[in-house]
Amino acid sequence: MSELTNFSNQLADAVQAAGAWTVRVQARRGPPASGIALAADLVLTADHVVDPSREDNIRIGLPDGSEVQATVVGRDPATDVAILRIAGGTLTAAKSATSEPRTGALALVVGRPGAQPNASLGLITGSGGPTRTRRGGMLERFIMVDAVMYPGFSGGPLVDADGAVLGMITSGLGFGGPAVALPWSLVSQIAETIKTHGRVARGYLGIGSQPITLSAQAKELAGGQERGLLVIQVADGGPAAAAGVLQGDILVRLDGNGIANADDLQSLLGPSRVGSSVSASVVRGGELKELSMTVGSRD
C-alpha cells in the first residue's frame, strides 16, 4: 500500500479506537452531544450540553448501540465540565496519551452525536492560558486546534494519531477562533474533584475591586509595582471583612505575589487555597499593611 493509504488507515484506526469510549449524551433539547468514558460507570462531558431542567432524563448512547439512563454526579460551569453516572458499569475507560500535545501535530476530534462515531481532522495550533472563561472561572491552560466542530461534538475527545485522548473538546468556553479543548491532565483533575465533592470549590475573599495605576508613593510602598486592585466593596461577613480590609484599600500582593488585576487575584485563589491562611498586602493611608485572612469558598 502507498504511504498515503497507510496514513489514511492509521487515522481511521485512531477514530475506531476512540469510538470505543466515546458516547452519545442526550441531556438537552435539540441535538445530542458527546461524552468520554472515565470509568466503567462514569462519563465526562461538557457542562453546557447538560440542561439543568433535564437532569432527570439523561440518556447515554453506548458504543454497542444500546442506550442507558444517567444521573449527574456533579458539574463545574466555570470550566464547562460535567460528570455523569450510568446505570450499570459497561464502559471502557479512555486511554490517555503518553505525552502532551505538540504545536503543529495532527489531531482528531471525535464525537458521537448519532449511532456511529464521527471525526474531524485538524492541526494543534498552540496552547493558551491562564485565562478567564465567560462563566467566571480561571482556566489554567487550553489546547487550540484547527478542526471543524460539527454539531454534537462538544464533550467528545481530542485524540492523537494513535487514538489516545489529548483532551475534551468544547464550544462552551466562548474564546472564539480555533476549536478549544481542555487538556486531559487538567480535565482529569477537575473530574476527580467533582467525583469527590460534586463541585469545584474556588477561593473567595469577599471584595469588589477595580484595577488602578499606583501613585508614586504607593508604587514605592509596593516595591516598584505599577498597578494594584482598589477595593470598592467589602462583603459583610466575608474573609476580607474578617481580616480588616477596608473600602479604599489597594491590594498589591497576596502571599508575596504581585496583584495588578482581577485575573492575577483569581489565579491565586484556586481550589487548593480554600481554607488556607494567606497574607494580603494593602496600601492604606500612605502605609503598607499586612493582613492575614482565611480564604473562603465561592459556591
Q: Do 140 and 264 fall into the same domain? A: no
Q: What is the count of structural domains for the chain?
A: 2
**pLDDT-based confidence at residue 2 (cuts at 50, 70, 90):** confident
Q: Do 93 and 158 fall into the same domain? A: yes
Q: Do 216 and 262 fall into the same domain? A: yes
What one-character-per-residue DSSP string does 49-110 give? GS-GGGTTSEEEE-TTS-EEEEEEEEEETTTTEEEEEESS--PPPPPBPSSPPPTT-EEEEE
- Can you tell me the distance from the alpha carbon of 69 to that of 5, in angstroms, rounded to the nearest whole number? 40
Mean pLDDT over 198-205 rounds to 85
Q: Do 277 and 130 fall into the same domain? A: no
Percent of the chain beyond pLDDT 70? Answer: 97
- Can you tell me the distance from the alpha carbon of 58 to that of 51, in angstroms, rounded to the nearest whole number? 9
Strand-pairing partners, residue 257, are 254
pLDDT digits (tens, 9 = 90+) for 73-88: 999 988 999 999 998 8
pLDDT digits (tens, 9 = 90+) for 23-64: 999 999 989 999 999 999 999 999 999 999 999 999 999 999
Q: What share of the chain is helix, strand, coil (3-state, %, to 5)?
A: 20, 40, 40
| Element (DSSP H or E) covering residue 4 | helix 3-19
CA geometry: angle at 267 spanning 203 and 220, to 5°? 105
- Can you tell me the distance from the alpha carbon of 249 to that of 240, in angstroms, rounded to the nearest whole number? 11
Which of 138, 168, 197 terminates a domain? The answer is: 197
Per-residue pLDDT, 288: 95
Q: Do 214 and 182 fall into the same domain? A: no
Which of 180, 197, 214 terminates a domain? The answer is: 197
Mean pLDDT over 187-191 rounds to 92
Residue among 156, 161, 159 at smallest CA distance from 172: 156
Query: How many Cα neighbours within 13 Å face the side chain of 109?
Result: 31
Q: Do 165 and 260 fall into the same domain? A: no
Per-residue pLDDT, 299: 61
Residue among 81, 78, 95 at smallest CA distance from 38: 95
Q: Do 178 and 222 fall into the same domain? A: no
DSSP label at 262?
H
CATH of the domain at 45: 2.40.10.120
Q: Do 92 and 51 fall into the same domain? A: yes
Which of 197, 226, 254 terminates a domain? The answer is: 197
Q: Do 78 and 136 fall into the same domain? A: yes
Q: Do 191 and 211 fall into the same domain? A: no
Q: 144: how many CB neighbours lie within 10 A of its CB?
A: 20
Across the chain, what does the average pLDDT equal? 91
CATH of the domain at 267: 2.30.42.10
Q: Which residues contact 37 (CB under 8 A, 6 or more apart)?
A: 21, 22, 23, 43, 44, 91, 92, 93, 94
Q: Do 11 and 112 fall into the same domain? A: yes
pLDDT digits (tens, 9 = 90+) for 246-283: 999 999 999 999 999 888 888 788 777 888 999 999 99
Q: 262: how many CB neighbours lie within 10 A of its CB?
A: 15
Residue among 246, 264, 244 at smallest CA distance from 255: 264
Domain that holds residue 271: 202-298
Q: Which residues contact 53 (CB under 8 A, 6 or more apart)?
A: none
- Can you tell me the distance from the alpha carbon of 169 to that of 191, in angstroms, rounded to the nearest whole number? 15
Percent of the chain beyond pLDDT 90? Answer: 75
Q: Do 106 and 26 fall into the same domain? A: yes
Q: Does the structure show a pLDDT above 80 at 99?
A: yes
Dihedral, CA atoms, 85, 88, 90, 94, nearest 10 degrees? 10
Mean pLDDT over 180-208 rounds to 90
Per-residue pLDDT, 39: 96
Mean pLDDT over 91-108 rounds to 93
- Can you tell me the distance from the alpha carbon of 153 to that of 150, in angstroms, rounded to the nearest whole number? 6
Q: Does the structure show a pLDDT above 70 at 135?
A: no
Per-residue pLDDT, 132: 75
